[in-house]
Amino acid sequence: MESLMTLRARASPVAASPLQQRRVPGRQRATPVRASAGGEPDLSVRVNGLQMPNPFVIGSGPPGTNYTVMKRAFDEGWGAVIAKTVSLDAEKVINVTPRYAKLRAEPNGAAMGRIIGWQNIELISDRPLETMLNEFKQLKKEYPDRILIGSIMEEYNKAAWHELIERVEESGVDALEINFSCPHGMPERKMGAAVGQDCDLLEEVCGWINEKATVPVWAKMTPNITDITQPARIALKSGCEGVSAINTIMSVMGINLKTLRPEPCVEGYSTPGGYSARAVHPIALAKVMQIARMMKEEFADGQSLSAIGGVETGNDAAEFILLGADTVQVCTGVMMHGYPLVKKLCAELQDFMREHNFSSIEEFRGASLPYFTTHTDLVHRQQEAIKQRKAIKKGLQSDKDWTGDGFVKETESMVSN
């Protein structure tokens, strides 16, 4: 079997763009953490210069919506927290309720049973930016060694992006995640997925962001696109230190067969929203795999990958890391199971690592990525394997092949039972 070092080897880098060649102090690429000597499996990771006790990150959304809940996340032991997305003018953000709907494993209309899907029509933060920034400052004062990441989204306006970045950075956040992926809300203002789905627009906006930002920048990708590697490539070439994937999938959760109205139902009406939870995990794995392969083939400067999608167990996280993820984000999982979920995730991930004798995350990160190929190659591999199996002699082909020393074994080779 190939060594893990061989599996992790990266292709030669492509030529760096001017933005990639420029290095701003504090903006670092992903750095491998060396394996610990003996003891329990080490879950710590160092990503873009950010040291985390474990790879589990609170994903941007309700679990990072204010000081109280973000403080709880740090107290429970999450590796990092990404706050709910903020913009300059929160007055334009008006949420409705109910704004969530659940999909259960049972038939449509079942009130109980395991939740496999979750939909939200929630917008970004409706709290004043100054309020959120003051809470960021307080959190960094109380938890100076913990990682707080600001999630930001703005209209198609360079000055607005620059103002937002400056104000959020002044609050002391360790990095920025750019929301290029919210599938609903305000596309008419060229916000969220409206940018992430348009590579020309994305390249321009990423240019604005990276000429201003002095902390690491992660671009959050939308799955609501034909080829997710295209915007991911643009973001990295434009200077972003990492990408996050995936945000929620555009969906209609279902129709109430008693009322004939769609869910979630607000005054009898609804709108398409973002789909998350367990049911999206296989889709997220495919998107993360595609991005990881592209990054391995085209980038060799330590750009990071943060995986998102249906994580409720340590094994879910292990799958993402095996595909090349540096960190794993959880949002809906926290909404369903609470902040103590991180302890279960860490314990289960360590159980996986013990089973395979891995002492650090880096030892198995990306180890499964080389085993993806094309369908044409699968056909070729199977045809070759069949030829080899047929080439193995079943018994003796001729009386001249009998030998004295191997007579008993040669006899057995031709017995059917």
> For position 3, what pLDDT does the model report?
43
Each residue of 268-289: pLDDT tens digit?
999 999 999 999 999 999 999 9
Lowest mean pLDDT among 60-64, 95-99, 103-107, 186-190: 186-190
CA proximity to 254, closest of 113, 109, 114, 115: 109
Residue 414 to residue 399: CA distance in whole angstroms: 13
What's the whole-number average pLDDT of the chain?
Answer: 89
Residue 209 to residue 213: CA distance in whole angstroms: 6
> For position 21, what pLDDT does the model report?
41
Name which residue leads in pLDDT, 32 or 103.
103
Please give the model's pTM, rounded to 2 decimal places: 0.86
pLDDT at 188 over 60: no
Name which residue leads in pLDDT, 267 or 38.
267
> For position 417, what pLDDT does the model report?
76
Sequence spans of domains, the chain: 43-369
Alpha carbon 34 to its chain centroid, in Å, reads: 22
Residue 389 to residue 378: CA distance in whole angstroms: 17
CATH of 43-369, one of 3.20.20.70, 1.20.1260.10, 1.10.300.10, 3.10.20.600: 3.20.20.70
Active site residues: 182
> For position 186, what pLDDT does the model report?
60
What is the residue type of 395?
A: G
Walk across the sheet containing 273-276 and list its strands. Answer: 100-104, 115-120, 273-276, 249-251
